[in-house]
Structure 1
Amino acid sequence: MQQRRLGKTGFDVSEIALGTWQVGGRWGDAFSDANAETILNRAIDAGINFIDTADVYSAGMSEAAVGRVVRARRERVFVATKCGRQISPHVNAGYTVERLRGFVEASLKNTGLDALDLIQLHCPPTEVFYRPEIFGLFDDLKREGKILNLGVSVEKVEEALKAIEYPNVTTVQIIFNMFRHRPAGLFFEQAAKRDIGVIVRVPLASGLLSGKFGRETTFGAADHRHFNRDGAAFDKGETFSGVPYELGLQAVEELKRVFPDHTPLALWALRWVLMFPQVSTVIPGASRPDQLDANLAVEGLRALTDAEMAAVRDIYERLIKPSVHHLW
């Protein structure tokens, strides 16, 4: 497993890591501790040493499973979690120093860890990024030994650029994939300049870039790919990267013609993300062990050629950019 430096955290992390939104079961399914622990242990066995979770994933059960497995292992595994999405309604006024401190302390209890390697604000409203007192809290928590690093998870490039103006922000988690190119511009430039670790989420556009979906594909009623395409529950950019489903299918068909061999499109999508040196790690999810194994196969895949990179860019410019570029 290749490793990259996670910015000014100083951590050397596996370039393919594990996101745990659906680690205990598919989106909308009941959480399975046994399934989660199988996937987590298999990931660590394969050389993954960075695991991303959140206090709201499966109502804290994902966080607890990560903590149990990591505590039982001898390897150094970096744990990143997130806080803030428990605030309801999820608005700027709900973000207070006292409330966020409570969330961090609850995550420590839930994971059973002595300190959190990385705590991330979990896609707060844009206004929160303009409140220095919120970011100042995490300096206090670091002095108290409760966290080692602060990061942010964002929806918009604007939020990422504002966040990294705070000296104590060490990482940014952002959506970046073949259907979401904008972060590769000014944000990547500034992240490199400020030594910010870049954690890429939704690298497969909620599975759309797996190439396995079609017009007849259905999703369960509790699956965000069914109910959140227009942002009914949270930012629609989290679902298929905000790309209209039918348009995404059209773009996928063109991508398949760029990569016509028997290698799954999902692997080319992951390798495309890793072609950018500013990316520290990618956190695809897995609801089954075989999905984890499939993602890890990218380590044996060659780099994309200049012609392939140009073809992906052309598909984005023609089909995808008008729908998403200006929004995030």
Structure 2
Amino acid sequence: MSTSNHSSASLDYQQLVDDIRLWARQLGFQQVGITEPRIPEQDKKQFQQWLEQGLHGDLEYMERHKELRCHPEQLHEGVIRIISVRMDYLPAETETIKILNEPEKAYVSRYALGRDYHKLIRKRLTQLGKKIEAVVGDHGYRAFVDSAPVMERPLAQQAGLGWMGKHSLIINRQAGSFFFLGELFTNLPLPTDQPYEKNHCGRCSACMDICPTSAIIEPYKVDARKCISYLTIENRGPIPEELRSKMGNRVFGCDDCQLTCPWNRFARHTQESDFQPRHHLDNSDLADLFLWTEEEFLERTAGSPIRRAGFECWLRNLAVGLGNAPTTDKVMSALHQRRNYPSELVKEHVEWALAQHSLCSRG
């Protein structure tokens, strides 16, 4: 297709879609699907029930923007199509299972080992919008990446990218679930893809069975208040005491439900350099991270999703990990060095951790 502007009457939209798929691959996306800005009624109903049951915890923005989530057509004036994309993020050289089995190490969710995906994917989606604009002229577009009240997963399923797994994430038969989603809203009447109607989870309940805190309370329903990702990232208060010992060494997010999913044997490793581990966060001791100064934290998490937790909650999470770690001189020394840290939140979790080691020594 040429790069000159065309009137809508002369546009070959199917050719444009073919070009969009090509450009998206060139920009690092692994798959593209196109759908209407519409959330299926069943998904709206399930979302409303989830809110009514209080399963969103302190995620007040979920409740505050529920109407927009259910009506994506209100997010961008004139939108009639949504281009849904996915991008793999799993780094190749990470000892995922090994780290979970080494309780003195810190486990950081695989998506958070490198740079924050929001800016990268939004930039690529904007570039995709500009490529389209070079062909058709001003078409009215807007990029979203987990940064607005968009129900990404139902839209991705409607765009044919995969199905909703029992852990509530989108699964793709050729790529598992270790990928990010993003959307480009556009005012162009592009041909749409078929929704992904099949569900290939079958009787498998591996994700539900392995969840350390039993947060997947029934198929396709997650209680955020129990989810380690919520507890270590979104939650700003104390971690419920009854859940602390179940967290193990998971200090930022949790991947257990994905790691056990049979479909992730097909997961593809990312080719993006920005998603590769930084500052050895894929293989660091809990005690070493716990002794970072706030300046070191800010420096080493610059441009990282981990910055979202903040230093105080980062220390809280690490204190829990240290409480679950083997009783060693290094672990005990780190905890004692933070015992008088000027934060009641941190001190509470440090005292809990020390009590765990005291119990172990008496047992």
TM-score, with structure 2 as normaliser: 0.28
Structure index of larger Rg: 2
**TM-score w.r.t. structure 1 length?**
0.30
